[in-house]
Amino acid sequence: MSLMTNEALTPRYADILRRHFRPLEPIATGESPVLKRLAGIRAVLFDLYGTLFISASGEVGTARQSACEAALAGSLAALEIPVSGPVGWGAEYLFGVIEASHARSRAAGIDCPEVDIVEIWREVLAELTRRGLLDAPAAEVADLKRLAVEYEARVNPCWPMPHLQECLVQLGELGRVLGIISNAQFYTVELFEALLGRRAEELGFDPELQYYSYAHGRAKPGTALFELAAGTLRRRGIAPGEAIYVGNDMLNDVFPAYKLGFRTALFAGDARSLRLRAADQQLQGISPDLVLTDLSQLLQCIIV
């Protein structure tokens, strides 16, 4: 009789996320759709949080402090790491470590950096251990990736936007190339399997057109991920003007896509995540080609 490995005993990331997620409904934004037919669109690229998926906290990394404190305690318990005192302040320390990492990267010349969340958690556990709040042997061997997933599942529950699957299926039937450009961590790609039961590629997303900030150390609103996507599209004979980018944030999504020559659609389908940034001077004179309040509206705007 063979013994099960630790890997076999460890829950899959998608399973952890699914266990904590519950149905969510979008909150109306009061925005009116701006729809028109766009000729020549051959590729459609999407943001994830707040666009394809309802995000309870609005987007990755923006949950309320109280929720973060409870999530940290719950995540440590899930990994069976003994604690010897209140650890809620560790959530605030987490944000501080992230900000410090961003500051170091900006000082090194990276204008819109992304963190390695696993290394961030390594620092957090080390500090909690140094202060005598965690059992040192357990903390030292902790599965940091699983800890990150357990925490994210608690602070940022997600759910598919209405008509998401139908939109993807119909875009595929129209022969459109599908891609993703998202501020994300390694667990973000697990949302598809957790909530839709299939990997992104099985839902029609081109494996070479998925750009997640954690994998490149660059985040939106920087243009680095959009530049990579534009290069891939050009190698396939698709100009940026023949692609449309769909996102919920005027600064993080519409602004960099516009700068690279993509057509743009502002997704205004959920008040939790809609970011108009009306006071931002960088956005003066910039408006999206479309404003969508439901993903199904995109189909009627793309001429076959």
In whole numbers, what is the pLDDT of the chain averaged over residues?
A: 94
How high is the pLDDT of residue 1?
32
The CA distance from 184 to 247, in Å, is: 14
Query: Which of 6, 3, 66, 54 shows the shortest CA–CA distance to 27?
Result: 54
pTM for the structure as a whole = 0.93
pLDDT tens-digit series, residues 286-295? 999 999 999 9
Q: What are phi and psi for residue 71, nearest 5 degrees?
A: -65, -40
pLDDT band at 88 (very low <50, low <70, confident <90, very high): confident
pLDDT tens-digit series, residues 220-276? 999 999 999 999 999 999 999 999 999 999 999 999 999 999 999 999 999 999 999
Q: Are 219 and 101 in contact (CB under 8 A)?
A: no
How high is the pLDDT of residue 2?
34
Q: What are phi and psi for residue 133, nearest 5 degrees?
A: -95, -15
As to burial, measured by CB atoms within 10 angstroms (0-12 exposed, 13-18 middle, 19+ buried), residue 24 is middle
3 pLDDT higher than 60: no
279 pLDDT higher than 80: yes
pLDDT tens-digit series, residues 185-204? 999 999 999 999 999 999 99
Report how far apart the first and last C-alpha atoms of the chain are (Å, whole number).
59
The CA distance from 256 to 239, in Å, is: 16
Q: Are 189 and 48 in contact (CB under 8 A)?
A: no
**Mean predicted confidence (pLDDT) in 144-148:** 98
pLDDT tens-digit series, residues 14-62? 999 999 999 999 999 999 999 999 999 999 999 999 999 999 986 555 5
